[in-house]
Structure 1
Amino acid sequence: MTPDQISTTIVDVLQALVADGTVTLPDGVPTTVTVERPRQKGHGDYATNVALQLAKKAGTNPRELATLVQQRLEAAEGVAAVEIAGPGFLNITVEAGAQGQVAADVVAAGASYGGSEVLVGNRVNVEFISANPTGPLHLGHTRWAVLGDAIARVLQAAGAEVTREFYINDRGNQMDLFGASIEAAALGRPIPEDGYQGEYIVDLAARIVADRPEIVDLPADERLVAFREAGYAVQLKDQQDALDGFNTHFDVWFSERSLHEDTSHGSVTDTLKGLQDKGHLFEADGALWMRTTDFGDDRDRVLIRSNGVLTYFASDTAYYLNKRARGFDRCIYLLGADHHGYVGRLRAMAACAGDDPDAHIEVLIGQLVKILRDGAELRLSKRAGTMVTLEELVEEIGVDALRYSLARYPADSPLTLDVAEITKASNDNPVYYVQYGHARTCRMMENAADLGMSLPVDAHAGFDPALLSHELEGQLLRALAEFPRVVASAAELREPHRIARYLEATTSVFNKWYDTRECRMLPQGDEPAGPVNEARLMLVAATRTVLANGLDLLGVSAPERM
């Protein structure tokens, strides 16, 4: 039985107690109750504090309510025993057959196991990289490429409809400087002092000229624009290719320019008019302001400066309303460590637009990452000169090791990673440990196939779950049963690191089971495979499924051999 099944059974017991008048609950029976795995050995398979939570409402004390629940719960199918502990906790022991059935449930569900419907009906936009198309993606983008993608994956697994979005900052003076830098490199002139440096500028210039030799002969004004636009296209394609190679794929690449190039719904022009009509804009000192202090911001924000130039905040406001116009219920932003000040202004902006900030906007702030090699921090790029690029990190560390290492920590924790530690093939390396656990399950199943053992066509009818009765088998089954709850929690809390930590703990339980002589899956010597061997094969297959599904939620591969 899974925790959710136990929860449902307890709810059924409470409903029966209310129906026959044994218990009175003025607020009604809860739809779910908290069920957890006990921390101490010998306290059963699952525990609940439901009696402590409901006793006051029921007009009784927790132990009396716990006794009433215990009597009914012990008679429920799949429940072997129920004990009352302390002030009214219920410790529940599940029958071996009911617990073992989890293995068949996992195998039958396959790649969908771990999913739920807790967020069904939610349309979520996750914007997790916002970058200029003027250079390679760097280490800061790399962390968000992992965490944003993993958050999107767990949200989808929990039933939400998710769009992954990249915001292209392709407007402003930096684009002209970018074009001027490429033009100078192509013509053999010095790069402007405030322009873009690094070998990649020289590379871009060479690629553009090779593709369009006539570009150097254009009139000066046309030539600058031509180099800017050609460099934009090439650099953006490079960013897209780098992210695709990193197993991070976006559904939408949204251009900031597009918000200024038309007057349709969601554009900057349309946004300013709508806010003006709502009475949230005012003029002062020759500039146009949004009165965000009405909604908790520490100061009002400029939308159009006194020189007539639109601010980034004007674009941000239009972009948010564009997302809402596209039908997204919740807009999630992943921002860097230096963006704490944006939280208040974005929430106030949403409120000015008539939205509920608590419901429609969510801002996650990430902390900095340091990468060490030989004890020294990586700071300089061979191509970009002033930063470590995503491509170089992938080349140095590898996709799986880099993604897993960045995903296994909360976004708001500063992070220091050592190249030697996260790339070594050792059980001390978490990604290797989990991937090797998956590879071990694959090898075990191959060995079983060599002996003629196979999984039944109908997982639920093809083995005896009661044979999985060893204590370690119970621990492993309970761990596998916990996976959907871990995924749902990771989605609701936006914390994909919970998946990584769960995978490591589950792999540890699996390895202990694997190393126990009493739990050998394969028959010994010339013995034929019997029902217990087949049951353990199902358990191995279930473990393989959970490890593969969990790694996939982190965008990490599940190798069959290592």
Structure 2
Amino acid sequence: MTPADLSRTVLHAVHRAVAENALRAPVPARVRVERTRPGGSGDFACAVALQLAGDAGLPALEVARILRERVAAEPGIGRVEITGPGFLSFTLDAPGDSDRAMLDAVREQGSAYGHGGALRDEVLRFHHPREVRAAVTADAVRRVVLSQGARVRISCEEAGEAEWGLLGVTVDAYGTPPVTSPADPSAPLIPVRPVPAGATARELLERLGVDATRWGLLRPASHDRAPLGDDLLVQGEANPLFLVRYAHARARALPRGAAALGFTSESDAAPAPYEAASDAAPYESPARPLLDLLADHPRVLLAAARRRAPDRVARQLEAVAHAFFDFHDSCPPLPSGDEKPSAAHRSRLALAEAAGTVLAGGLSLLGISAPAHL
């Protein structure tokens, strides 16, 4: 993590604290972090708590405590201390530590990696018109917010098409419910009204099938028109749906190839050192973009849940797929020719497996299948 990365991380913590009403103060345009002076604690220090204390009407030590809670768990940060009148002092993880922790988390949590309980106190009621894109969007929103712990109920203005069931859509009630629930006044009705698809579920299923229909309806933002042409069926990397599913299938194939060669990935394999032969620093290796995207996956899922935006999940999967192929082509996880499997190959394989797991989990949240073979 660079000083610029750390500055952005602290600024993000300030944004979160203000959004969650834990801190009432204007968010600064930037946060300055500096190398700790001789005799100080940690690698870097930041005085943002002292800067915000006056506007927040709180002691700087209290502001620092609020921010520490929101920074300490971020990838790359080993320890956060409060020193002096309210300085935040940061000790960064040793290179590779946070990457190993992330890969271990993916391995342990599987397709549930990125799921959490941030919305566990929320009861969400979504209501949509009798239109296929609205129905599929509401269903995907349900899946995403459930992954973050919320309780969800979906209603539709009137009974939908029979084909909605083939698309995996479930509706809890029909008709227009009250704007607020008598059982829970804190759960207002949330409308789901994307730009209509311009076709029925039957028409789309006959032409595109389930997976391409769902991707075509969910990939664009709700306020944009959904392109639903036959290019969604093209078996080529120019088709984002094919790219994502092909990346998943390729990631799943690598462990099979490794097993045939007599080796497997190791949970404690560090992904950074395997580029030691290059002149680039470990964090600048071809693996870095993929590692960063996988580490960012939980934040993306939470943002998609809070924004009711499954398109964010689709875009994240596209980015992971592109990064996976860039990494795979630059750092092949399997040895070639007479080359023997090494620790580097095990490390690469661990990262490839993690990418496949994240792609599978993301596709599942979108209600799209993730075949192991294409």
Give the alignment's TM-score, normalised by structure 2: 0.73
Which residue pairs with 2:231 in the alignment? Answer: 421
Q: Which residue of 2 aligns with 1:553?
A: 365
Compute the displacement of 1:511 (Å): 0.9
- Give the superposition deviation at 1:455: 4.2
Match of 1:211 in 2: none
CA contact (8 A) 1:156 1:162 kept: yes
Question: Aligned residue pairs: how many?
Answer: 316
SS in 1 for 2:367: coil
Alpha-carbon deviations, 1:38-58, whole Å to 9, x = none?
A: xxxxxxx989xxxxxxxxxx9
| Aligned ranges 1:127-526 → 2 under 5 Å | 127-128=127-128, 130-131=129-130, 141-168=131-158, 239-240=161-162, 242-250=163-171, 252-254=172-174, 256=175, 316=176, 319-320=177-178, 324-327=181-184, 329-330=186-187, 360-370=188-198, 388-413=199-224, 415=225, 417-456=227-266, 459=267, 462-467=268-273, 469=282, 471-516=285-330, 519-526=331-338
Gaps of 5+ in 1: 38-44, 48-57, 60-64, 80-94, 132-140, 170-235, 257-315, 331-359, 371-387
Match of 2:17 in 1: none
Q: Counterpart of 1:162 in 2: which secondary structure? A: strand
Q: CA 1:406–1:26 in structure 2 vs 1: closer, same or farther (change >3 Å)?
A: same
The separation in 2 between residues aligned to 1:320 and 1:477, in whole angstroms, is 46
Q: Name 1:533's counterpart in structure 2.
A: 345
Match of 2:27 in 1: none
Q: What is the match of residue 80 of structure 2? A: none
DSSP-derived class of the 1:124 partner: strand
1:113 is aligned to: 113
Q: Encode CA deviations 1:95-134: one digit per residue, 9 max, x unaligned.
A: 1333343222211111210112221111222233x44xxx
**1:159, distance to aligned residue in structure 2 (A):** 1.3
- Does the alignment pair 1:78 with 2:93? yes
Matching residue's letter, 1:435: R
Q: Which residue of 2 aligns with 1:354?
A: none
Gaps in structure 2 of 5+ consecutive residues: 15-40, 54-58, 78-83, 275-281
Task: Return the alpha-carbon distance in structure 1 between the equivalents of residues 76 and 70 of structure 2.
Answer: 12
The superposition leaves residues 368-414 of structure 1 with CA deviations (integer Å, 9 ceiling, x where unpaired) of 334xxxxxxxxxxxxxxxxx43122111011111111111111122x
Contact residue 103 and residue 538 of structure 1 kept, 8 A: yes
Q: Report what 1:99 is aligned to.
A: 99
Deviation at 1:25, TM superposition (A): 1.3
Q: 1:392 to 1:364 in 2, by over 3 A?
A: closer
Q: What is the alpha-carbon distance in structure 2 between the residues aligned to residue 523 and residue 512 of structure 1?
A: 17
Distance 1:447 1:17 in 2: 48
Distance 1:398 1:390 in 2: 10
Q: Distance in 1 between matches of 2:247 and 2:46?
A: 45
* C-alpha RMSD of the superposition: 3.7
CA distance in 1, matches of 2:228, 2:115: 33
For the 8 Å contact 1:426–1:432, the answer to whether it is kept is: yes
Rounded Cα–Cα distance in structure 2 between residues aligned with 1:27 and 1:532 = 45
| Structure 1 runs, 4 residues or longer, greater than 6 Å off | 10-13
> Letter of the aligned partner of 1:515 in structure 2?
D
Deviation readout 1:286-341 (Å, 9 max, x if unpaired):
xxxxxxxxxxxxxxxxxxxxxxxxxxxxxx4xx216x71354742xxxxxxxxxxx
- 1:151 alignment partner AA: V
Whole-angstrom CA distance in 2 between matches of 1:454 and 1:163: 43
Question: If you compute each CA radius of gyration, which structure gives the higher value, 1 or 2?
Answer: 1
Asked if the contact 2:116/2:148 (under 8 Å) is kept, the reply is yes
Q: Cα distance, 1:33 vs. partner?
A: 5.3
AA at the equivalent of 2:347: A
| Partner-residue secondary structure (3-state), 1:28 | helix
Describe the shift of the 1:101–1:46 C-alpha distance in structure 2 as closer, same or farther (beyond 3 A): closer
Are the counterparts in 1 of residues 132 and 197 from structure 2 also a CA contact under 8 Å?
no
The one-letter code sitting in structure 1 at the alignment partner of 2:132 is T
Residue pair 2:140, 2:365 contacting (<8 A) in 1 also: yes
Note if contact 1:124-1:163 (Cα within 8 Å) is conserved in structure 2. Answer: yes
Q: CA deviation at 1:421?
A: 1.8
Change in Cα spacing, 1:389 to 1:368, as seen in structure 2 (3 Å) is closer
